[in-house]
Structure 1
Amino acid sequence: MVGQIRDLIAEKGLTVGDGLPTERDLCTQFNASRNTVREAMRILKAYGLVEVRPKIGATIADNRLARAFDLFSFNTMEVSRKTFSDVQAFRDLLEVGSAEQIMDRITDRDIADLYALNGKLAEGADIHVASEVDYDFHYRLISILGNDAILDVYKVMKPVILRIMQKGKTRRSYKTETFAEHQGVIDALAARDRLAFQYRLRAHLMIGFKNFSDEMEGAA
């Protein structure tokens, strides 16, 4: 759905300030449910591509750089539930949204590297080391795309991604639960099963939502 809306923006030549079709029109045009359209708009909003305002609707925006500095500030010591949701939606756009390209490009070497990285989670390292391994796993996954700009964005995101991972690992077993979730993602890749890959990766990204508070703590 996100890809379809982005294609629509490109096809119509929409620029900053231009309005998107209404939610109802998007449902009709793409034969999608209202919940599907709303989730796609939420992701695009988190990415900084659209703004949604009462009585005006969705318009094209270009505040991606400001959102990056806001979300991924090195001074932000804790992340709220809202920030968690925004960051993981951004990662969903990068990782899950690139499923087609990943499936087209992936090699046996890529799969072997991902299995090897995931194996390190079961080696008994502490939470900080395990979070670095977790980050490296996802970085290696998107490196399959061969897109340096995407990798640069992911590097900018690293401080807050690590904080999300570290917090999750205080509530869940990375040696068993995170390991098993990663393993399922790799198994789907090895089987070239795009739908299973998207389902398992999306579930993995959002599973820690309940671990985060409603308020920002220690904000910069």
Structure 2
Amino acid sequence: MLEIRALIDSELLKVGDALPSERELCERFSTSRNTVREAMRMLKAYGVVEVRPKVGATIIDNRMARAFDLFSFNTIEISRKTFADIQGFRTLIEVNSVDAMFDNLTDDHLAALLAANAAMKSAQTIQEASEADFGFHISLVGILDNAALLELYRIMKPVIIGIMEKGKSRQDFRTSTFDQHQAVIDALSAHDRINYQYALQHHLTIGFDTFVEGP
């Protein structure tokens, strides 16, 4: 597979271009047909190529879709390691990007955060509250005006929602999270760097503690 990826790079092949035939690839890399087919199967799984009968392999770019599929297996129990990794990632983005948050912050951003938090408080179920909670954090990340980060959060949504639902099953999901979010909004509005980072880190840490403690 690595050799074929190197071939794509070296020949500057782009989306829509055809790869050499199976026989040509066997000759070029002095390998068996089974090896080439296995490499194609893996590239297809990663969303890099599409293989069709009588057409051969064509380069595509469905890597984001494949990553989304991976994170969509939210029926699998979330481990403590996964939880810690996801919360650590969120800390890097949401907590440590405080300076960029303040530079980009507008009244519209604050209004979106307030609306998402109000929706969470009025939610009737844990699932509804978790959707609104996710909307709050998407609005928070949106302040950074970075499309790639927003796409990553959307890809990770099933896992993040699973984490939120787990946390809300162990605390009052209408008031505790609402109050924590409100503290974040207040610090943002005041451009209070220390209180913003404290409030948001505290919020994420409480989520981890409720997960680790268990039922």
TM-score range normalised by the length of the shorter chain: 0.5 to 0.7
Other-structure match for 2:190: 191
Compute the displacement of 1:73 (Å): 5.1
Q: 131-140 or 121-130: which moved more?
A: 121-130
Instruction: List runs of 5+ in structure 2 lacking aligned partners.
Output: 1-63
> Where do 1:181-220 residues align within 5 Å?
181-212=180-211
Task: State the percentage of identical aligned residues.
Answer: 52
**Alignment partners' CA distance in 2, 1:93 and 1:70:** 24
Other-structure match for 2:94: 95
**Alignment partners' CA distance in 2, 1:194 and 1:186:** 12
Compute the displacement of 1:208 (Å): 2.2
Could you say what the CA RMSD is over the residues aligned between the two structures, in angstroms?
2.4
Other-structure match for 1:161: 160
Compute the displacement of 1:116 (Å): 1.5
Amino acid at match of 1:127: I
> Where do 1:171-190 residues align within 5 Å?
171-190=170-189
**Alignment partners' CA distance in 2, 1:114 and 1:175:** 16
Amino acid at match of 1:182: H
Please say if residues 111 and 186 of structure 1, whose CA atoms lie closer than 8 Å, have aligned partners that are also in contact.
yes
Please say if residues 118 and 137 of structure 1, whose CA atoms lie closer than 8 Å, have aligned partners that are also in contact.
yes
Amino acid at match of 1:189: L
TM-score, normalization by structure 2: 0.64
SS in 2 for 1:209: helix
Q: 1:124 to 1:75 in 2, by over 3 A?
A: closer
Compute the displacement of 1:143 (Å): 0.5
**Alignment partners' CA distance in 2, 1:129 and 1:176:** 14
Q: 1:75 to 1:172 in 2, by over 3 A?
A: closer
Compute the displacement of 1:70 (Å): 11
Please say if residues 71 and 83 of structure 1, whose CA atoms lie closer than 8 Å, have aligned partners that are also in contact.
no
Q: 205-214 or 143-152: which moved more?
A: 205-214
Q: 1:75 to 1:185 in 2, by over 3 A?
A: closer
- For 1:75-102, what per-residue CA distance to the aligned partner results, in whole angstroms no more than 9, with x for missing partners? 5522122211111000111111211100
The number of aligned residues is 149
Compute the displacement of 1:152 (Å): 0.7
Higher-RCO chain (CA-CA 8 Å, sequence separation at least 6): 1
Amino acid at match of 1:98: S
Runs of 4 or more consecutive aligned structure 1 residues displaced over 6 Å after TM superposition: 68-71
Amino acid at match of 1:158: K
Compute the displacement of 1:195 (Å): 1.2
**Alignment partners' CA distance in 1, 2:144 and 2:101:** 6
> Where do 1:60-209 residues align within 5 Å?
72=71, 74=73, 76-209=75-208
Q: 1:213 to 1:174 in 2, by over 3 A?
A: closer
Please say if residues 102 and 188 of structure 2, whose CA atoms lie closer than 8 Å, have aligned partners that are also in contact.
yes
Q: 1:101 to 1:211 in 2, by over 3 A?
A: same
**Alignment partners' CA distance in 2, 1:98 and 1:77:** 31
Amino acid at match of 1:88: Q
Amino acid at match of 1:108: D
